[in-house]
Amino acid sequence: MYNFINDDIDKVKKVIELYDDTNIHLLTVEQQEIFKVNLRKKYFKDKGILSWSIFEMLNSEKLGVNDANAWSWISDYIIGKEICVLLGENYHSKLIYYFKNGVNFIDVYPRLPFLEFYLMDLNFTFLIGYNHSSCLVTMGKAIDWLESDVRYVKFLDNYKKRNTL
């Protein structure tokens, strides 16, 4: 019988084991707690009740796009940055990894069994999330990046054309 959570955790560990642990590693319990506290403090709705989905708990100060390829757009923004990534949609996930360089995440992500991720830099100045509905959401400093990205501008122009009377 397939045990979704445990089998997927094992798959993630096997993929991550292929990389040098100085470039990618699981955060300690204490580091994961710091990540979650900052995620909640900076990017969740005030007095938000912790639900299953992080996406539902985000405050309204965000910019997003619904495009299946949008996850790959982030490479322009995160390459060269140290990031931490929560895998899965659940706030209580124990799969929060450190990536010395965002390029490592771009390489690893297509091999992972999870579609959803939420990533922040080490100073918590931006949040980028991607969910199972192909929605990419940006918060903090990442909003400016997405707003000026040519793929987003093209997406927005096409959306406006389709929805003009």
Question: What is the C-alpha to C-alpha distance for residues 89 and 157, in angstroms, rounded to an integer?
Answer: 30
Burial group, residue 146, by CB count within 10 angstroms (0-12, 13-18, 19+): buried
The model's pLDDT over 40-77, given as tens digits with 9 standing for 90+, comes to: 899 998 766 666 678 888 888 999 999 999 999 999 99
Instruction: Give the count of domains, the chain.
Output: 1
Q: What is the extent of the structural domain holding 35? A: 4-162
pTM: predicted TM-score of the whole model, two decimal places = 0.88
pLDDT at residue 20, rounded to an integer: 76
Question: What is the C-alpha to C-alpha distance for residues 143 and 13, in angstroms, rounded to an integer?
Answer: 31
Q: What percent of the chain has pLDDT over 70?
A: 92
Closest CA to 36 of 50, 46, 21: 50
